[in-house]
Structure 1
Amino acid sequence: MKWFKPLFAIIFVLGAGAAVLVFSNETDNNENEAKAKEDNIVNIISSESKETSEKKNILDSLNTLKTAYDEAILEKTALSKELELERKNVENLMAIIKVSNNPSAEQIKIYRNQLSDLNSSLESRVQEIKKLKSQNKNLLTEIESQNVVMYQQKAENDTLLLKQKKLESTLKDASKLYLSNFKAIALREKSSGTELETTKAKNTKKLKISFTVNGNAVAKTGKRVFYIQVLDQKNTVLGDNKLIEFGNDKALVYSFIVSADFQGKSLSAYGVLNADQFKKGTYFVNYFDKQEIMGSTSVTLE
């Protein structure tokens, strides 16, 4: 059959072309899948690098802020004790951020809000110090101007000194509330129902978070609400884990709320965090009056 050989040649050519086309499509598909995987890995690394960079920037800012508090404390004004307390808040926040691994975008936002609050607090304190120094300088100028007639003007100088002391006292007794005596303890429960302090994670049934609201005669009285934030080793907010917004892009994720009836005098307050199981490690506790951090503490379970 003369037509057989040409027909066979045509079939062979068509088969070879189809094989090349299939191989080419498979190769393109494999290359596309490999590129997609590579792009995904790059995106993940880029995201982690961004959060890590954000964490470093916040730590650098906090370190600068701590240095500023150190300098302000060296002024030795009537606000030194308050400045030392706020510097401790900066140090505690730095410790929390340093132990955090791969913080999420939400955690970075919380850290930035806390950094902003601490910056605002320092700016306010610096203005108060400047005002106090300026007023003190004016008073000293008045006193020096009266030195020529010291005997006749002694009574007036004594009055100026009393005004200075009253001014310092007024600044110290500002309407803002302060918290102290921050404490977090783990509790276990005996069969009798008695609760005892423990350091063992496996025995822990709850965390008792306590603090003191310092007395302040000029502060507003009535019901005051404080927000407690408890973070585990992974920087996860335990408890209610609720988000509250305060306006001006200020927000807070908290574990539970503690209410106190403040009547101008010092009072103790506490709250309890229950959990099915507590793991070994350190738990960090932050205390907030609205969006402003008032203090921090921690408890370690073995």
Structure 2
Amino acid sequence: MKKQNKIKWFKPLSALIFVLGVGATVLVFSSEPENVEKEIKEEVVAKKMPAVKRELSEQMNILDSLNTLKEAYDVAILEKNTLSRELELERKNVENLMQLIKVSQNPTAAQIKIYRNQLLDLKNSLETRMQEIKKLKFQNKNLLTEIESQNVVMYQQRAENDTLVSKQKKLESSLKDASKLSLSNFKVIALREKNSGKELETTKSKSTDKLKISFTINGNAVAKTGKRVYYVQVLDQKNTVLGDDKLIEFGNNKALVYSFIVTADFQGKSLNAYGILNADENNFKKGTYFVNYFDKQEIVGSTSITLE
């Protein structure tokens, strides 16, 4: 009797185990297409992500390069040579460009191209300065060697030694004077115009009718005189170029989008120059505006203004 009862329970139990096994098998195989589809979607997203983040990655790479460039300027300035002032101005340009890039959000490929070109210009400028310093050191070394040789051979001829010292000073002066025409005193102020026509400085965005952007062309007795053209680029909080928003190409795949042009008649002496950016139909918004100054495709200065 007990044996019959065991047989009765064994058959239903075997059937139940068989049904559960078939169900598990169906579940495993039915879930495989979903897993495959999920894996395909993840692969597609993974392929798209680098394209989406490429500009941000390039932005960080440019910032890293600018930081390295700034450190190189720091080292060069510590040598305290006759070009230290020019090096300090160019280091400031590097710092301003770094600040501009840091506040830029979701840069476009065109903006990345502009940053890269500006980085290349700054690198080329440093390389040019370093070559000038190297040349100056070499010439100074040769002059000192010549002076020492003359002192040994003709100790009594002090007048000739004085002449050599004078040559050294004239050489340093000539190298400095022959350097590229430089700009300084970069400024931007917001103005509101009264009904009388009088202009008053303001810090309020809603009161701002125009931005006056000025700079100084440093005097240089040996620089070529005549008409000088400089390009001014004004960027708003969205990194949009305000004003004319025109593109100019300089060759060698170099181009610049500028807000307006400033021309000046340089005659060897220091000269103040400025340009005006008028408010458009949208007026000036609250926030920080960045201003870049260009001599052709080369950035020569930067400044900014914050409107409340």
Q: Shorter-chain TM-score: what band? A: 0.7 to 0.9
State the one-letter code of the partner of 2:86: E
Q: Distance in 1 between matches of 2:293 and 2:279?
A: 19
Q: Which residue of 2 aligns with 1:196?
A: 200
Q: Deviations over 1:113-158 (max 9, x none)?
A: 1111111111111111111111111111122223335642211211
8 Å Cα contact 1:188/1:195 also seen in 2: yes
Matched, 1:211 2:215: yes
User: Alignment partner of 2:157: what SS?
Assistant: helix
Q: Which residue of 2 aligns with 1:286?
A: 292
Pairing 1:158-197 to 2, within 5 Å after superposition? 158-197=162-201
Residues 147/287 of structure 1: CA separation in 2 closer, same or farther (3 Å cut): same
Matched, 1:91 2:58: no
Q: Which residue of 1 aligns with 2:55?
A: 51
8 Å Cα contact 1:48/1:102 also seen in 2: no
State the one-letter code of the partner of 1:274: N
User: Alignment partner of 2:107: what SS?
Assistant: coil
Q: Distance in 2 between matches of 1:231 and 1:195?
A: 23
8 Å Cα contact 1:175/1:220 also seen in 2: no
* Structure 1 residue 106 displacement after superposition: 0.6
Q: 1:124 aligns with which of 118, 123, 128?
A: 128
State the one-letter code of the partner of 2:299: I
8 Å Cα contact 2:186/2:302 also seen in 1: yes
* Structure 1 residue 44 displacement after superposition: 6.1
Q: Which deviates more, 248-257 or 138-147? A: 138-147
Q: Distance in 1 between matches of 2:152 and 2:217?
A: 48
Pairing 1:11-26 to 2, within 5 Å after superposition? none
Matched, 1:234 2:238: yes
TM-score, normalising length: structure 1: 0.85
Matched, 1:109 2:108: no
8 Å Cα contact 1:92/1:296 also seen in 2: yes
Q: Distance in 2 between matches of 1:278 and 1:44?
A: 37
Q: Which residue of 1 aligns with 2:3?
A: none
Q: Which residue of 2 aligns with 1:69?
A: 73
Q: Distance in 2 between matches of 1:286 and 1:163?
A: 39
Unaligned runs of at least 5 residues, structure 2: 1-36
Q: Deviations over 1:163-218 (max 9, x none)?
A: 11111111111252111110000011112221100000011111000111111111
Q: Which protein is bigger by CA-based radius of gyration? A: 2
* Structure 1 residue 42 displacement after superposition: 5.9
Matched, 1:270 2:274: yes
Q: Distance in 2 between matches of 1:180 and 1:140?
A: 34
What is the total number of aligned residue pairs between the two structures?
A: 271
Q: Distance in 2 between matches of 1:148 and 1:220?
A: 42
User: Alignment partner of 2:239: what SS?
Assistant: coil
**Percent identity between the aligned chains?**
79
8 Å Cα contact 1:174/1:218 also seen in 2: yes
- Say what the alpha-carbon RMSD is for the aligned residues: 2.1
Residues 38/151 of structure 1: CA separation in 2 closer, same or farther (3 Å cut): closer
Q: Distance in 1 between matches of 2:249 and 2:293?
A: 16
Q: Distance in 2 between matches of 1:138 and 1:259?
A: 42
Q: Deviations over 1:249-277 (max 9, x none)?
A: 11111000001111111111110001231
Q: Distance in 2 between matches of 1:256 and 1:44?
A: 38
